[in-house]
Amino acid sequence: MGGFQKNFNSGQCCRICHFSYDEKLIPLTDITFTQRSIDEHDRLVQQVLMLNNGIIIQGVSDISPLSKLLGFHAVKSLPNGPMHDFNEGLCGPVIFAMLKEASNKRILTYGEVEERLINFEYGSNDKSNKPPIIKKKHLSKGKIIGTASQKMCLFRLFP
Look at residue 93 in the predicted model and tell me its pLDDT: 80
Look at residue 79 in the predicted model and tell me its pLDDT: 78
Look at residue 143 in the predicted model and tell me its pLDDT: 75
Look at residue 10 in the predicted model and tell me its pLDDT: 57
pLDDT digits (tens, 9 = 90+) for 65-120: 999 999 999 988 887 766 665 666 677 788 888 888 888 899 988 888 888 888 99
Look at residue 88 in the predicted model and tell me its pLDDT: 63
Euclidean distance between CA atoms 56 and 107, whole angstroms: 53
Write down the pTM of the prediction: 0.54
Task: Give the residue ranges of DSSP H helices in the chain.
Answer: 38-51, 74-77, 82, 92-104, 110-119, 136-141, 148-157
Euclidean distance between CA atoms 21 and 93, whole angstroms: 25
Look at residue 89 in the predicted model and tell me its pLDDT: 66
